Amino acid sequence: MCWIPASRKQVDWRYLLALLEVENLQTHFRTPDGVNRAVDGVSFVVNEGETLAIVGESGCGKSVTAMSILRLIPEPPGKIAGSIRFLGQDLLKMSEKEMRAIRGDAISMIFQEPMTSLNPVLPIKRQLCETLRLHQDITQEQAMARASELMDLVGIAEGQRRLNEYPHQLSGGMRQRVMIAMALACNPKLLIADEPTTALDVTIQAQILDLMADLKNKIGAAIVLITHDLGVVAEVAERVMVMYAGRKVEEAPVGELFAKPLHPYTQGLLGAVPKLGASLDGHSTRLKEIPGLVPSLKQKIKGCVFASRCPLAKEPCHEIAPAMQMRDNGHQVACHFAGEIAFAND
């Protein structure tokens, strides 16, 4: 079991103001083989100043959910339905011009791979200043001064010199810091981080996570963190939403989820996390595995999306999709037999 700081166990996020409200989000893609239901009826809330982690295996719909919030899904072949309210306004009802004013300003995103997200033929200063001048009424000189401040803010040494360099001249960790600087340029209210530590070594991962936590405290932004790394979740998040095959299966405060996971899929994820020192105290070092395969998202699943791999599955699971149940401490779970298999923390 991962250690959760006590300060984050005691916060009741139900009484904070909602910044982002996503309701029944459906993002489908029409393909020659049928409709791919990448996100299928997901609902969640992000409160002011909190960090919500969205976890799940590759292909479960995490990144598509993030792209849908910013309306970065090309239509066609994509189609977004449902409701995405940011500060009370439905983003799905806005014009493209109105959305361009929000992207990079009130809502920013750190994309998964900085080398492909940064323009390889433009120097860093050009890319940072473009973001600033697009959303703020400032001169080129003021934008350059702000860009230099941002480089210092994200901990890049000799930031003034680095501004004149191109992405390929920077290390992976530096490129990720530049992406964070670009995302924070206009002091966003919501920061979406899609696998911000992917492909970085462990030392740089820790530095990037510390940087994000420090900057969150400085600017007061809420963060939606998309990851498959439960160690990262335990380190930085207050609440966790677990996705599987395009649907939300569980959501809870981070301490509650790690201590008492109710959904069999969440239990499987936590059971697959290596435990430090397990081989020293006589426990088996073999990790648990979830048998079976993820169902095709091109087929309409009648019952529970996890039924074909679930050790608890019975007849109702294959016929009736479980409704989201609210338990104690803001714990939500979509399972007909939630909690019937005890989770072992040892």
List average pLDDT for each run of 10 residues in the chain, which is 346 residues long: 41 63 95 90 92 90 92 90 93 92 88 79 91 85 89 83 90 84 85 80 77 78 88 86 94 92 91 65 67 85 89 87 88 87 55
| Model pLDDT, residue 149 | 87
| Model pLDDT, residue 261 | 92
E strands, 294-344, in order? 325-326, 332-333
| Model pLDDT, residue 10 | 44
CA–CA dist 264, 268 (Å, integer): 6
| Model pLDDT, residue 13 | 42
In degrees, rounded to 5, the angle at the alpha carbon of residue 227 between the alpha carbons of residues 104 and 301 is: 105
CB neighbour class for 133 (10 Å; exposed up to 12, middle 13-18, buried from 19): middle
Of the candidates 180, 192, 179, the one whose C-alpha atom is nearest the C-alpha of residue 115 is 179
Q: Where are the domains of the chain?
A: 15-237
CA distances from 265 to 69, 72, 275, 331 (A): 25, 29, 18, 15
Of the candidates 245, 227, 243, 246, the one whose C-alpha atom is nearest the C-alpha of residue 235 is 227
Dump the DSSP string for 214-265.
Answer: HHHHHH--EEEEEES-HHHHHHH-SEEEEEETTEEEEEEEHHHHHH---SHH
Residues 251-263 have pLDDT tens digits of: 999 999 998 999 9
What contacts 149, CB < 8 A, 6 or more positions away? Answer: none
CA distances from 200 to 52, 112, 190 (A): 22, 11, 24
User: What is the fold of 15-237?
Assistant: Rossmann fold (3.40.50)
Q: What is the pTM of this model?
A: 0.85
Question: Where on the phi/psi map is residue 61: left (φ > 0), alpha (ψ -120 to 50), or beta?
Answer: left
